[in-house]
Amino acid sequence: MRRRTYLKTTGTALLGLAATGTAVADDDRRGNYRPGGPWPGSEHAYNLNAYHTNEELAADLQRLDRKSDRISLTQIGRSAGLGGPIWEVTVGDGDTGVHLINQIHGDEPVGTEVTLSLLRDLALGNSKQVDLLLDELSFTVVPRVNPDGAMFEYDIDDDGTDEWIGRRTNTQDWAEGDSAYRPSYHYATPDDAHPGYDMNRDFNIALDADAIDEQDGSWSQSDSGVNYYDVEYEGYTLRSSGLMLAPEVRAVAASALRADPDYAITHHHQGRYLYPGSGDGNQPPKQTIMSVMPAYGEAYLDRSPFDFDGADVEQVVDPFIDAETSERSLQLNVLVEEALGQRGDSVFDSVTRYGYYPLWGSYLDTVCPNTGAAGLLYEVAGQTDDRGQQGFGQMVQATTVGFMATFEAMADGSIDDVDAEKYWDIPLTGDPLENPHGVDLPTR
């Protein structure tokens, strides 16, 4: 049973909420404070009706497709568990290609909501901004990669009733014959009843499931018995590669190869962190609103926060991304930080740098080498099961500003004037804040 506790809010109203801020509950005013603001109480830890169900998302996309001849809507696959449709939307006639995916982790939904608003504007809008984007860019968008995780239900508040809350993985069994060993990124919910894949670990450098059998791959095992698939590729060892066992991942990989984009963007959520250096003097600590991350190659090896003596190059940077593409990736990240920073000393002036190293089963580190795309990963603060109504408007606004700043700069060519070196001035993500609900919050 799904318990619905809030009124459905339109995209326009949500942007208004983000601009004006949200109220603080009386209980929180009485002392339930943490650095960066009050936690929502346990009964207000999630807002189910702010997010589209799979059925609602499909209905909205199909409605846009009927109303506008600008977009093309295609079902490119189905999810492993629910059989939910995976949609691809293409729009725009420009020479610069953008591949955008959202909600590969089911408990990270804000990118889907913001992207749906963007698609409405591109499909139906008549502004100069819309004309610029349509004329200069070609978008290929997967609004929701993980229908299973987006609609997952469990009893988060121990009241005996399952709530729709979302989870990181899809819902898919692993069976002998799927691969030689059960891979490290296949795991279950705490009750072990619903196993599934972390699909941002399931990509493979080949972006082709049929080619994996021909790879020079081998298995390694940790002391605790966890199995990792390692690939020998062009003189490098790509540790912890994916096997493309999830149908959702195969659909996204095929979408990316068809699009052959100049830019690859993926939207995620992270836990909550303090903004480095905040809280000094008379100012209260500030919570990071968002972290951003590029994918870059050996041109920036010596700048990596994860470079260490004895590390293999492919553990530190993506050796298949050239210097020019790496620079464009950094420029994307700088654009987001500067756009939000223009709001002055506020909650939005707190973008941090998510330290980059390759994940050889991730979307960015497999799509970018194959297509020459510059990469950008968003990590907005808070998952559905640890961030409540109070934070939703801020997450929507931060993502909207970031999306539009990058898309407009791609379209008008001003991205070429961005100083990529400013990326290294963005502080690395600070100390984590306490998680009030005890929920494990992995990222990327």
Domain boundaries, the chain: 11-154+243-425
Nearest to 122 by CA among 136, 104, 108: 136
Confidence band of 190 (pLDDT split at 50, 70, 90): low
Amino acid (one-letter) located at 314 = E
Residue 44 has pLDDT above 60, yes or no: no
Tell me the pTM: 0.87
Residue 11 has pLDDT above 70, yes or no: no
Nearest to 241 by CA among 269, 266, 212: 212
As a whole-number percent, the residues of the chain with pLDDT over 70 amount to: 83
Average pLDDT of the residues in 210-237:
95
Residue 188 has pLDDT above 70, yes or no: yes
As a whole-number percent, the residues of the chain with pLDDT over 90 amount to: 69
pLDDT tens digits, one per residue of 167-178: 899 999 999 999
Distance in angstroms (rounded) separating the CA atoms of residues 184 and 38? 36
Confidence band of 49 (pLDDT split at 50, 70, 90): confident
Per-residue pLDDT, 38:
36
Residue 443 has pLDDT above 60, yes or no: no
Residue 369 has pLDDT above 70, yes or no: yes
CATH superfamily assigned to domain 11-154+243-425:
Zn peptidases (3.40.630.10)
